[in-house]
Chains A and B, each alone.
Chain A
Amino acid sequence: MRQAFDACVVVTGHESDEELLRKLCGKLIELGYKGAAFTTTNVRRLNELKLAIKRLSSEVELDLVLRLELEEMPPGRAKKILAKYRRFIELISMAPKTRHTLAFASRDRRIDILYVAPTSSPPLYRGDWRYISSTDKLVELRVYPLMTATDTYSLARVLRSYMKLVKRAPQRMLGHFLLSSGAGSPRYLCTPHSLKALAHSLGFPDPGFSKVIERVTINRDKIRGLIPVPGVRVVHGNESERRED
């Protein structure tokens, strides 16, 4: 697959050592990915992880991205974190568990991805979908809960919640779904082809690799100052062009 991108490879607090990251990168390359987003919920480890990713990017042929996931928290606290970290982090997502937080997460344009946990997430209403559409967010589903389901009944429950979400989504929003592995170790990573097969099986066209790559590119341009405000892009012409002007 040409543009396979795993948008969520979870790096928890203790395991952000470079050895694990290296193993994950090796497996991602073996499975045919072109890029991945290392995800953490711990804001204190962001700098350390950012440095590790920078070092690894020069070693491996993968487009590595740092992603911060905001867990369930009051919107006021989320706003403070967003104000502090948005200009350093390439992707920011939120995993809401209450209606209040879900409404905030779908409204705030600094959040790129809305992670819908299979059984604990509140339903998305028409207004939420409208906000998601206007802010061009992605709605993420993960394979990890499907892999860790111990029995057939719990697997069916997770699948049912995903199918319900996709079925209730407006037709034009089916392109806003994103499938990622949510893996915390190389064993839980899955192939891009199987993500595509799951997307088809759930009823949306593709796993959203191109959408998330586009989002990362825009955010990188924002971090570099090439997009100072939405709708404006600074284009640097080369010296010869300037002389001609």
Chain B
Amino acid sequence: MEMSRRGARTRRRYLIVKIEPANTDLAVDSLETILLGAITRLWGAEGLAKINPKLIYLDKRRQLAVVRVDAEGVERARLAFELFPRVAPIVVRVVRVTGTVRKALRIIKSTPVSET
């Protein structure tokens, strides 16, 4: 298994994900469990290690969240969230990918509540 060399900074990306349907009352813990489950379902434990997801922000009013992943795992994470069974109570879609958490939060804050 490849690991980044010692001292090298890990490059990350921040996925802005939309949670559907609207008005879903979700706790941070349960959303994190769903996201981890989606990734493990498609890519397994090794994929989970490569993607290294972490839920860092949840806006319940706008039904948007920010998930931090390793830069190499963006496409994998996107696919895992999309292929998660639609019979599950929620659907998670990646709407935007940013390079900094500040930009991600700015995008979320600028999104009108009615639009989501």
- A residues near B (Cβ < 8 Å) are 31, 143, 146-150, 152, 155, 187-188, 190-191, 193-194, 197-198, 200-201
Contacts and interface: CB of A to CB of B under 8 A. Distances in A.
B82 A194 contact: yes
B46 interface: no
Contacts of A190: 82, 93
A190 B46 CA distance: 25
A187 B91 contact: yes
Given A191-B93, A191-B94, A193-B94, A198 B79 contact: yes
B42 A155 contact: yes
Contact of A148 (B75, B78, B86, B93): B86
Given A150-B85, A191-B94, A197-B78, 9 more contacts: A31-B93, A147-B84, A155-B41, A187-B20, A187-B91, A191-B82, A197-B75, A197-B76, A198-B82
Top 8 A-B pairs, shortest CB-CB distance: A194-B82, A197-B75, A197-B79, A190-B82, A146-B83, A197-B78, A187-B86, A147-B86
Contact of A188 (B42, B81, B86, B94): B86
A197 B79 CA distance: 6
A152 B42 CA distance: 8
> How extensive is the interface on chain B, given as a class?
10 to 19
A155 B41 CA distance: 9
A197 B81 CA distance: 12
Contacts of A194: 78-79, 81-83, 94
Contacts, number: 49
A152 B41 contact: yes
A155 B87 CA distance: 14
Contacts of B41: 152, 155
Nearest to B81: A194
Nearest to A183: B86
Contacts of A143: 82-83
13 contacts: A146-B83, A147-B83, A147-B85, A147-B86, A148-B85, A148-B86, A150-B85, A150-B87, A155-B41, A188-B86, A191-B82, A197-B76, A200-B75
B74 to A, nearest CB: 9
A201 B79 contact: yes
A146 B81 CA distance: 12
A29 B89 CA distance: 23
A8 B12 CA distance: 34
Contacts of A197: 75-76, 78-79, 82
A149 to B, nearest CB: 7
Interface string B38-80: 0001100000000000000000000000000000000110110
B41 to A, nearest CB: 6
Contacts of B87: 148, 150
A201 B76 CA distance: 8
A156 to B, nearest CB: 10
B114 to A, nearest CB: 14
Contacts of A187: 20, 86, 91
A190 B86 CA distance: 11
B77 to A, nearest CB: 9
B79 A149 contact: no
Contacts of B75: 197, 200-201
A194 to B, nearest CB: 4
